Chains A and B, each alone.
Chain A
Amino acid sequence: MARFFAGKGVQYALVLLFAVTLNFLLPRMMPGSPLVFLAGEDVGFMSEAQRGQLIQAFGLDQPLWRQYVIYLAGLARGDLGHSFQQGRPVIEIIAGRVGWTVLLVGISLLAATLAGIAWGTAAAWRRGRRLDIGSLGGAMLLESMPSFWLAMIFIAVFAAGLRWFPVFGAMTPGAGLRGWPHIMDVAWHLTLPLATLTLITIPGMFLIMRYSMLSVLGEQYIATARSKGLAERGVMFRHAMRNALLPVATVFMLNVGYVVSGATVVETVFSYPGIGRLLFEAVLARDYPVLQGTFFILTVSVITANIVADLLYPLIDPRVRHAR
């Protein structure tokens, strides 16, 4: 158990190190002055003295390793730099946005996982039959659609056409709703982005669950359970599905990054004010500190989700639980 976590821990630390180092190196390795990427585009209009001040503030006159230490120390204090556009600390901007993304990604991850498990189990149980083949085709089709396109179609049909849902945003601006009406308003705005993100996440979960279920169904103990005369339903849920869930938990972690990537695109189309949309706004404005800060926070959240999944893993796998 301890070794399991030590191995995983090293892995996550490496991912974090990779993201941090990339963020550190990118502005410094690009052709031209790093100040363009660190302090904004009006560097050319600054006086020599101002520029000198900035160079000192970022420690750009120091050797690279000293700069790295300064950078890491800043990061440890939560310093992700200042936005070119808004002049505010990046960490503040992100903090104001992250809740929306957590809401969107959290619910759709949960919904897609449950749906994928149910769908994958059903398909594997009827392997090679019409339901299975149709499901496989449907999943591959869904996986091949660009998520932003699906989002645009949803808006065109359900928001602009049928007017069932709002076109953009996370709540009605200036409505000043409180309590229950506010919750309903948020849910109403959330529906379409959530549906899009969940739909594009389901196929991955389905394919894993189906594959895992198929390999479990080939095991001897399934034949034993059947030959004992147990009801099919019982065999499917208690014997096969429980064991087939184990690999799904592992792959679930890899999927978090996928869902976060999907959220970037979906939030952009729906103008949903999460950090995915923030990333897009930063690209449009070439606001490099925000761009880097967002990437860093997204990486941290993927790692966090992985750790949570690691902690939950023993709950479903008794072998890990008892191996302590």
Chain B
Amino acid sequence: MAGAEAGVVPEAGRTARPAVPRHRRRVGGVGAVGLTLLGALILCGVLAPWLAPYSPDETTGAPFAPPSRAHVLGTNDVGQDLLSELIFGVRISLTIGFLAAVLAVSIGTLAGVVAGYFGGWVDAALMRLVDIVLVVPFLPLMILLAAYLGPSFWNIIIVIGVLVWARPARVIRAQVLSLRRLDFVDAALALGASSRRLLVRHILPGVLSLALAQFILAASNAILIEASLSFLGLGDPTAKSWGSTLYYAQVRSAFLSGAWKWWVLPPGLLITAAVLGFAFTGFALEEVLNPRLRR
């Protein structure tokens, strides 16, 4: 109520809101766009059986058919409806992105908390590991691992998860370090709290919100990586994600004919929308939650 002048009582129902800085409002706007994109995609995935005109695994038309009333986005090389393929693809792309991000942020949070809290050689060793993971060219490494493990749903998730944890680990460690300097940690220690209690009751809650922001950024990363791996033919062969739709478009040279407009353009736009949805949401969250970015 800082804006209300002395003696003037704000009318009921028109209580003066504290002025929100313009920058913060914009951040909120970006977050809202991100959440809307994500909400629409998730809804699409949940309602896929009702939204899609056909089953994505059934041959329902002539191969390589251009868009028509029966097949709004045409058909692929074996006569499956492309629109249905994309709608069901939401489920696969989002699920893989979600699970890989859960894995990555779980490892990252654990490593970050352990490194930040215990310090010393544990910290040094873990941060060296983080540096190594950040320097190695990640896509070639993932291709190598995926080629050895073989293409499957879980292998993709594991490969992405074990290589995306480094950035979250670094951010969370920084947060733990700044939490450790606070007085309540000393107070808790003085009261005889065990390391375990301190970690679970005081440190972990302090990093959870940051871990959430990191999770969302990791998910946007994971979706992009999954698309790349699937595009290179290393995706789950039994489930068609957007990346594998593009893989088949590439193998069948769809981009050399007019077919690119309905076969190449839409899946790429969907990937962009999903990645952007996560990135916007994560950006807004991090801007609000990360004390180092607060102004």
Taking CB atoms, residues of chain A closer than 8 Å to B139 are: 260-262, 264-265
Q: B233 is contacted by which of A128, A140, A283 (Cβ under 8 Å)?
A: A283
A257 to B134, CA, bound (A): 8
User: Interface with B: A67-75, A148-156, A178-186, A228-236, which one?
Assistant: A148-156
The residue of chain A having its C-beta at the shortest distance from the C-beta of B231 within the complex is A148
Shortest CB distance A253–B (Å):
8
Query: Would A152 and B246 count as touching, CB distance under 8 A?
Result: yes
The residue of chain B having its C-beta at the shortest distance from the C-beta of A294 within the complex is B140
Known: A26-B144, A286-B147, A291-B147. A149 touches B135 (CB 8 A): no
Known: A149-B268, A306-B135. A11 touches B128 (CB 8 A): yes
Shortest CB distance B271–A (Å):
5
- Report which B residues bind A (CB closer than 8 A): 22-23, 26, 128, 131-132, 134-141, 143-145, 147-148, 220, 224, 227-228, 231-234, 243, 246, 249-250, 255-257, 260, 264-265, 267-268, 271-272, 275-276, 279-280, 283
Taking CB atoms, residues of chain B closer than 8 Å to A133 are: 26
By CB atoms of chain A within 10 A, which of B23, B134, B228 has the most? B228
Shortest CB distance A78–B (Å):
20
24 contacts between A and B (CB under 8 A): A11-B131, A11-B135, A14-B128, A15-B136, A22-B144, A133-B26, A140-B279, A140-B283, A141-B272, A144-B276, A146-B231, A146-B268, A149-B268, A152-B250, A153-B268, A254-B135, A257-B136, A262-B139, A283-B234, A291-B144, A294-B140, A298-B140, A299-B137, A302-B137
The residue of chain A having its C-beta at the shortest distance from the C-beta of B134 within the complex is A254
Within 8 Å of chain B (Cβ to Cβ): is A58? no
Taking CB atoms, residues of chain B closer than 8 Å to A12 are: 135
Query: Would B135 and A146 count as touching, CB distance under 8 A?
Result: no
Known: A155-B255, A167-B256. A264 touches B143 (CB 8 A): yes
Query: Would B272 and A146 count as touching, CB distance under 8 A?
Result: yes
Shortest CB distance B38–A (Å):
13
Within 8 Å of chain B (Cβ to Cβ): is A49? no
Cβ-closest 4 pairs across A and B: A261-B139, A149-B268, A156-B260, A144-B275
